[in-house]
Each structure stands twice: as C-alpha cells, then as structure tokens.
Chain A
C-alpha cells in the first residue's frame, strides 16, 4: 500500500468513525486507535498520537454546535480541568513506559466500559442541598427549562476531582477523549444535570487532550502522514454526523455502534494478551 492508498483508506475509515461517533453521541475518537492498530497494522504509539489530535479537532468542532443546545458550566469545566490536565500529563508520561501489550489490554477494558455506559439510561439528577465546598468554589449553576430557571447544586467535589484526574490519565495514556469517564464523574459523583455535563465534558476534552499533545509531540508520537487523514476524516465525519443528527431515530445505530466498540474492545484485549500488536 503506498502513501496515497494508505491515506485514502484511513481517511475513509476515520470519516465513518467520526460520522457514527457524532450521530450516536459516543464520540469517534475511541475507535480510531483499534482501527489503526488492528486493521492497518499501525504501531500503537502512532495510533494514539493521531487519535489524540483528532479528539482535539472534534471537541473544538462540536463545541460550536453544542453551545446552541446545551448549557455548559464554565466554572465546573475550568476547575475540573486542573485535574484532567495534570492527569493527562501523567498519562502521557506513563504511555512511554507502559508496554504495548498492557496499553492494548487497558484500551480494551475502556472500550468495553464505554460500550456499556452508552447503553445506560441517563436519568435526571436528583435535587441536592447546597454543598459547602461547591458553594465556595461557585460551582452551582442554573439553566432554563420550560421557560423557568432551574437551579442545581453540585456535590462531592473531591470525588469528582479525583475521578477527573483518572479521566485525564486515561486520555493521556490512550489518546482518547475519555468522555465516558468524565460524564461518570459529573453525573454520578457530582450530580451535575446531564444537559450541563455533556456540554461541559465536551468543552473539557479539547483542553485535556492539548495537555498530553505537547508531550506526545516531543516524544515523536504525532506523525503528520498518519494524523492528517485521521484528523480530516474524523472532522468531516463528525460535522456530517451532526447535520444528520435526529436523536430519536438513532437508537438502533447507537446499539450497533456500541456493539462494534465492544467487539473492538474484546479484540484489543485478545491481541494484548497474545502479544500480537
């Protein structure tokens, strides 16, 4: 396969990943690494570098779209970015010292977890009394719902902060946005309403990824010839996906994509254990 064919195939696969990722809201970034490593035989470090860059692109691209429908909380986002960026740096350093097999197995577990999370029904957060730490950090907020201002109180800030450090570490180690972990930290731990957490998480993904990108660059993970088709493909795919987005009708697409993610997860774990990557 010469460079032209290689780029064309990767761009096509990335376009599909970006399209399905944005259509289903699962994000395309998580399938890029297994796609490159398993299908195209690209070394996992190059794959991680290209994936991370594409994650930044989709985060920035989707942000403009999300702003219209969601309600982000910039204070929650910025405060938690301290944890995610520090985690991302730790993860990026770890990636250089973690054997490929171990990365593949961890990746597989994260894929299975993401697939499982996507099947979960997200319920509206219950109302909680104000929390002292959250109040002093001014994390509480509000958003309009049916014409009235709905106020929400954030809680368990240290737990959320800790989980966000973990999300950042995974992001830096695997070159993914780790939206599934970010949402867990905000929805489950901190009781942020999901209308707010989805948008805020998307805002955070780009900044988190930028923190590991600097280290990836200096370690030589970001190969322009691989990152180019991946980034352009994912970006175009996610823009198209957002245009076709009719959430009510995507349940079966979502289920299919979740199954694909789960299958890739099992494949990654299998290849990691048998040392084929």
Chain B
C-alpha cells in the first residue's frame, strides 16, 4: 500500500458509475411496484389476521415466474408485490449481463467467460427451480 507509483493499474470507475445508475434505477422501479402492490393489498385485506407462525410455503401462483407475471397483470395485489420483488432480484442479474458486455468491449475475454459462468449459475437458480 505504501508503495505508490504511477503505473497503469485497473481503474473501473467509469463502468462502476454506469453500474451504479443501473442498480439504483432497478431498485427504485422495483420498490415502487412493491409499494403499489402493498397499498392495494392492505386496502383490500388489511383487516384479516395473518398467521406466519407455521411454515406452509406460499401458494403455487406466487412461486412460479409466469404465474406471478400473469397475476400481477390481472391486478392481484400479492402478485404485484411478488412481481416487484422479481424485478429486485433481476437487478443484480442484469448487472452481471452488463459486465459481460463491458468486458467484451474491453476485449477482456477471460472476464467475459468468468461473467458468463456467474450468469449461468444465476440462471440455473432462477429458471430451473
């Protein structure tokens, strides 16, 4: 650290800033969707008494991505919240995709490959379960 010289190291600050904007946008959009669903949910079912002491797992229509999307477009409040959470989960995933492109533009193919591996692991988790 004390070793300070002027040599070419890596400075990722430009990519960083773009990624920062991407992450913040994703975060704001998904929070807005979650909030919308939340207000609708509480307006309709706010008086019901929930029970979360025992784990049953959420109903099937709130587990699968196509059903969540369909439910959200039909105006189901819980599906809208879940859709917002999906957008939230998609935000870091899109950051990895962004990195694949950024590394490709830099012609850093080792890191194109590494980013692709991370992307595949994420896809395995999200799409095949």
Interface residues, chain A, CB within 8 Å of chain B?
1-4, 6-7, 40-46, 53, 56-57, 59-61, 63-64, 67, 71-75, 78-79, 81-82, 85-86, 88-89, 92, 124-127, 137-138, 140-143, 145, 148-152, 193, 203, 206-207, 209-215, 217-229, 231-232, 235
Contact A193 B1 (CB under 8 A): yes
Q: Tell whether A222 pairs with B58 under 8 Å between CB atoms, given A140-B9, A149-B4, A214-B129.
A: yes
Q: Which B18-43 residues sit within 8 Å CB-CB of chain A? A: 19-21, 23-24, 26-27, 30-31, 34-35, 37-38, 41-42
Please classify the interface of chain A as helix (H, G, I), strand (E, B), loop, or mixed, using the class held by over half of its residues.
helix
Q: How far is the CA of A217 from the CA of B93 in the complex (A)?
A: 15
Bound state CA distance, A228 and B33, in angstroms? 10
Secondary structure class of chain B's binding surface, majority of residues: helix
Contact B4 A148 (CB under 8 A): yes
Q: Which residue of A lies closest to B68 (CB)?
A: A217
B82 closest partner in A (C-beta): A224
For B78-110 the 0/1 string (1 means CB < 8 A from A) is 110110011011111101100100000000101
Contacts of B50 in A (CB 8 A): 1-3, 6, 225
Chain B residues whose CB sits within 8 angstroms of the CB of A220 once the complex forms? 56-59, 62-63
Q: How far is the CA of A135 from the CA of B53 in the complex (A)?
A: 51
Flag if A43 contacts B52 (CB, 8 Å).
yes
**Cross-chain contact A232 with B35 (CB below 8 angstroms):** yes
Whether A85 contacts B121 in the complex (CB less than 8 A), given A43-B55, A78-B114, A127-B2, comes out as: yes
B7 contact set on A, CB distance < 8 A: 142, 149, 151
Which residues of A are found within 8 Å of B13, using beta-carbon distances?
A: 67, 71
B89 to chain A, nearest CB (A): 5
